[in-house]
Structure 1
Amino acid sequence: METITVYDIAREANVSVATVSRVLNDTAPVRASTRQKIIAIIEKHKFQPNALARSLVNKKTGMIGVLFPDSSNMFFPEVFGGAEKAAQKLGYTLFLCNTFSNSRRESEYLTLLCERQVEGLLFMGGRINSRDCSDALVQELENIQKKIPIVLINGTLPGNPCHRVKTDEFAGTQLIMQHLIDRGHRRIGFLGGTAETTTTLEKLQAYRQVLAANNLTYRKEWVRLGDFSMSCGRKLMEQCIALSERPTAYLCINDYVAIGAMKTAISHGMRIPEDMAIAGFDDTQLASAMNPELTTVSQHSDQLGQEAIMILSKLIQKEKVKKQTVLSPALIIRQST
């Protein structure tokens, strides 16, 4: 079947292509009789305007690019879910890119998204959580931002060139540490994360600050880094159980590490929280699905995504927006502490 174009519609209606375009996009008045004739021809041929072609005229694609680091960690899809709900209400479609925190993949996706003429970008993880982000990677985003607005979620870059929306992870760590202390724990360890990520360093700083404020000793052997996975939690807890003097409670970098640690502790016959308390961070859906249910900190993942889209939408419309939006975390007390 031959493809019908806007030129065919114009030829059959004996009008200009510009007139057909005005009817399709409702951008200017068209005589009622002419409009009805054009609409009748469109319906007869079941004509559907090419979205890309229309975007070239309007300079609007209705697309927003989203880069995030790990689809297997439920926190990021939950943030994306909030962003998608807000985007749909505003008429945007999200173009999702899983970067695996690989800077080369990030650059490839950034190039692709710019070629697709997205109207804005949301960025999570990877370089914006790197302790030592290279000048070249920072410059790449700065160059893109001259043409396309960018909003960072829970991250930043040297010089703070981009708008940000974040949850106060330092305050969240303070909340959950104080909760463990109020439960009577004096020996508290820390599990997971990497020394190369700013989120780990921020939480470790808060962890040490709360220990000091409560006159509790920081013990290097009670802090074990690794990564952000369940398998990391399992491995690190095996190491901790072998300690001659071990903590009575552990704060983990996220829910995944906490769940891995809890499974290993239980497999060794330990009761949670009677023998050892374990707390996570993020309040992903898995936290309440565990037995015992996991005490954690909510980052309001859904709200994070929605706020990011609302800010980005305003930037796309060239409205003034404050550089940083900070959400307050919430302590979620469950059975594991």
Structure 2
Amino acid sequence: MNIYDIAELAGVSIATVSRVVNDSPRVSEKTKQKVRAIMEENGYTPNVFARGLGLDSMKTIGILCPDVSDAYMATAVAHLESRMHEHGYDCILCCSGFEQSIKEKYVSLLLAKRIDALIMVGSTYAGAEGEESRVQYVLDAARQVPVFLINGYLDGENIYCAYGDDYQITYDVTSQMIESGRRRILFLCDSHSYSAVRKLAGYELALKSHGLPVLGDLKLYVKNRIHTVRDILLERRDLRFDSVIGTDDGLAVGAIKYANAKLLKIPEDICITGFNNSALSICSDPELSSVDNRVEELCNITISNMMKILQEKDPDISRNCKVPCRLVKRCTTDF
């Protein structure tokens, strides 16, 4: 029996149960009596989460990401840790990789450390369409502590999501390529995560909206390694394309390497965009146009919402925060 169960039985929110535990004046006496009766009937003992920032708080936040060597993940983790320290919190970081069993193992490990909240960085934790069973461990974790997901959306009680609008920006970028005369746009991707699926959906809708076919040979899944992308594109002599949308800057830089090896002019012969607006985008030659998915803003939203919940300042916050992205134009685009 946990706070989630008590809230469900009482027909109130988790925040209300927390207020009752802390004897908050913001809850009516009638509701307090109802919730307390249910707690007593079920032998419920309030835990760290239920007490919020009371005397039992560990002042520790768990952070889970797939790979901290990834530029996006590293930026997010560094910013999150800095902001948490400002609020007097420590953090425990785990890198789970992408295997299901390892992700579940690390969530269990962090929960055993009696963390006050769990932050999951990366759309891999949101699963993909038709993979409901693969996110059950996240839903279960949210029964014990508030869960904050960055760069993905998962609908669930006590799960708070902040993510960039990958769908809309990919639709916009693809549309601008088409309107500038491009007809064979290569979509480079390295996963089937929530974020990748949204980007693909935006790409496909833009093609359909402009009367172009969605071609399977122009959707290429490849490991996110610059030279691997270059070599595969060089080997695929049958593959014709006049532009590239990479779902990560590493993939897009691989396309630049390919274009340079083929002596193609960028952006005249081939137009290329990346994603994440990382250091790679300005290290490449020519410099890469890349989507800024506002990672620091997503982290700020996450920390702000987390503090509101843990400190009971405004527990009834939105669980779905979608932030517009923007394309930072450099030398690889001409629209």
Letter in 1 for 2:298: L
Identify which of 37, 50, 57 aligns with 1:60.
57
* Equivalent position of 1:42 in the other structure: none
| CA pair 75-259 structure 1, distance change in 2 beyond 3 A | same
For the 8 Å contact 1:192–1:233, the answer to whether it is kept is: no
Determine helix, strand or coil for the equivalent of 2:275.
Answer: coil
* Equivalent position of 1:243 in the other structure: 238
Answering whether residue 280 of structure 2 is matched by residue 282 of structure 1, we say no
For the 8 Å contact 1:64–1:93, the answer to whether it is kept is: yes
| CA pair 154-188 structure 1, distance change in 2 beyond 3 A | same
Tell me how far 1:127 sits from its aligned partner: 3.4
Tell me how far 1:332 sits from its aligned partner: 0.8
For the 8 Å contact 2:153–2:320, the answer to whether it is kept is: no
Tell me how far 1:81 sits from its aligned partner: 2.5
Letter in 2 for 1:311: N
The whole-number CA distance in structure 2 between the counterparts of 1:231 and 1:95 is 34
Please show how residues 91-240 of structure 1 align to structure 2 within 5 Å.
Answer: 91-125=88-122, 126-135=124-133, 137-157=134-154, 162-194=159-191, 196-240=192-236
Answering whether residue 84 of structure 2 is matched by residue 84 of structure 1, we say no
Moved more, 107-116 or 248-257: 107-116
The whole-number CA distance in structure 2 between the counterparts of 1:283 and 1:170 is 17
Tell me how far 1:160 sits from its aligned partner: 6.9
The whole-number CA distance in structure 1 between the counterparts of 2:74 and 2:275 is 16
The whole-number CA distance in structure 1 between the counterparts of 2:130 and 2:157 is 14
Tell me how far 1:299 sits from its aligned partner: 0.3
Identify which of 243, 246, 251 aligns with 1:257.
251
| CA pair 217-130 structure 1, distance change in 2 beyond 3 A | closer
The whole-number CA distance in structure 1 between the counterparts of 2:144 and 2:215 is 49
Deviations 1:235-278 (A, max 9, x none): 442244x126x111111111111111211221232222222111
Identify which of 275, 286, 292 aligns with 2:286.
292
Tell me how far 1:158 sits from its aligned partner: 6.0
Q: What TM-score do you get using the length of structure 1 for normalisation?
A: 0.76
For the 8 Å contact 1:280–1:294, the answer to whether it is kept is: yes
Answering whether residue 263 of structure 2 is matched by residue 269 of structure 1, we say yes
| CA pair 201-141 structure 1, distance change in 2 beyond 3 A | closer
* Equivalent position of 1:336 in the other structure: 332
Q: Which protein has the larger Cα radius of gyration, Structure 1 or Structure 2? A: 1
Relative contact order (C-alpha < 8 Å, sep 6+): which is higher? 1
* Equivalent position of 2:4 in the other structure: none
Determine helix, strand or coil for the equivalent of 1:190.
Answer: strand
For the 8 Å contact 1:292–1:335, the answer to whether it is kept is: yes
RMSD of equivalent CA atoms? 2.3
* Equivalent position of 2:67 in the other structure: 70
The whole-number CA distance in structure 2 between the counterparts of 1:272 and 1:209 is 26
Please show how residues 294-333 of structure 1 align to structure 2 within 5 Å.
Answer: 294-318=288-312, 319-333=315-329
For the 8 Å contact 1:82–1:301, the answer to whether it is kept is: no
Tell me how far 1:333 sits from its aligned partner: 0.6
Determine helix, strand or coil for the equivalent of 1:279.
Answer: strand
Long gaps (5+) in structure 2? 1-53
Q: Percent identity of the aligned residues? A: 24
Q: What TM-score do you get using the length of structure 2 for normalisation?
A: 0.76
The whole-number CA distance in structure 1 between the counterparts of 2:157 and 2:279 is 32
Determine helix, strand or coil for the equivalent of 1:94.
Answer: strand
For the 8 Å contact 2:187–2:246, the answer to whether it is kept is: yes
The whole-number CA distance in structure 2 between the counterparts of 1:234 and 1:182 is 27
Please show how residues 27-46 of structure 1 align to structure 2 within 5 Å.
Answer: none
For the 8 Å contact 2:281–2:289, the answer to whether it is kept is: yes
For the 8 Å contact 1:66–1:123, the answer to whether it is kept is: yes
